Structure 1
Amino acid sequence: MNYLNTRAKQIKTMILEMAKGNFNYQIPRTGENNETEAIAASLNMLAQELRVSYNPFIFNAPADSIFKVRHYLFLINPEHSILSTNFDLDAEPTFVDQNFLHLLTPASKKIFKKRLKQLLKKQYPSVPCRLELRASNTLNVPLECTLFKLRYGAVAGNFLVVASRIQSLNPLLKEDASKKEYPIRKLEALKNTRDIQNIQDVKAYLQDHPEDRIASLKILGVRFGLNEYKLKKGFKELYQTSVFKYQLQQRLHKAKHLIRSTTDPLSSIALQTGFKSYVHFGQAFKKEFGVAPSQYRKMHQ
């Protein structure tokens, strides 16, 4: 019981941290192999994915707009009534005690019911979906969601909807918004827009071909019109990570996708994603996501 109480508190802390936009928090892992650990691993992986996809650095935004990401939680019971939420809109002062289905568009109701059945029938720790909430008669709010079934503590039997809302701010407010919400770091290695574009091309290449072997930063830099210094320092300035760490991250995310979407042997997936051996792959995967590749496949079968 002490174990479950401790893990429940840690999971609650994780959810609250994510609600505040902190995706660096991770639930400490244990050696247990049960549903509680599966939920902890899923939340850790969700935070990892949100951290990768959400980068408020202004150079990643299109030239004519700036994006802002907001995160919401809906705690709902088996009858779909909202028990608690941090979601609010001017058009609707409160959603508590309302039926969650009544807030969805007709198409989203079908999607939500289908995903909920998958969550219950196949015992997934979580399922993703894209839903639209009806904020008014003319306005729909798109949300990228992940559904969880809560199994322990006072909230056992209820469901948690973790949602992200991506907003595009008025381009006319770009200058003011960038000062208030998107602090721009001073660039030292990158001197002009061409350098920045070259670094972005390197990132795109690593995303598309994470399995490729990089002989050296010098050789990679020549391919994209950069010297070794600009590539090494410039990539870190733009993306707050090194070229090799980013490549490893992309390899692991590609491997995670292949594990979920194919029946390829794990040893084959390791080679497909650029790892020299399954042992190295397994160690890197567990360090990044908190579970071994074999456990992750079982969680998503």
Structure 2
Amino acid sequence: MPNSDDFRVKRIQKMLLEMAKGNFFYSIEPMDKNDNIASLVVMLNMVNEEIGAAFIHQGFANAHNTPQCVIQLSMILDGNGQIELLTNGTCSLLSYPPKDLFGKHITEFMTERSRERWTKKMSKHLKRERSETVLFLEFITNEGLLLAKDCQISVYQALDGSGQKTLLNSVFFSKGEPFETGLPKNKLKVTKGIKEHKVTLTPEDIQIIRDVHDMIINNLDKDLPTLKDLARQKGTNEYKLKYGFKQIYGTTIFRFLIRERLRMARTLIQHSTLTIKQIIQMTGFKSKTHFSRAFKDKYGLSPTDLRA
């Protein structure tokens, strides 16, 4: 009979290899035992989610000097514009698991302006047997962030006789100065996903906002100070903190706090033996009623139904 500890360790090794390849959708289901390995699995699942989120967010505010990592958005569409194949990097950028992308029309993940551009431009290119063009497209991630990028579009006929295909490619730098934007190097204007209250942020401003982001992540069980007090603590002003955070992370500070609390709660429910009451305390919710309502609104299931 195989050693159960060896089997569990091999599953952990498999997850680490998947994370190393950039697959942050891989996780390990809860274990029956309540020992050190089970605790390690819980922590590993939580770290996996945090790294996945941070890996994506780093790409929306390039505040440092040189590119350190490249994530490629790449997918193949059928003749109707539905997604047939895609890379792990595409899933990471859009914050969707593959099953939520396959078979969907590409325009479902674009802004209205990009949908119009896609329909207008591609109508003539799809009439040709072979065609190439570059389109500036804006994609909306599962978390509401806006990815705007020039995309290389290639239309071709599949060699296996399955008809016309469209290859869409683009590259995103997760860290680095913005390239060919014409912006001064000492300032970065962040305007993603918002039409008003556009704030010009210096690298120091962006670092402060990232520090606030990290502070929230590391203190989910604690109440936040008011925005005014938080801004004063971090050496900035309330306006810049409020709208700068929303521009970088695509949501308000309060909504980000609730979202991360719920995400941590879901991980603990799925991958630990802690009671619901203990999880509520660890994630900073004031009452079971408030927690259950927010959890069901977010995930469509109550905490007890998810664990069942």
TM-score (norm 1): 0.45
Higher relative contact order structure (alpha carbons within 8 Å, sequence separation ≥ 6): 2
TM-score (norm 2): 0.44
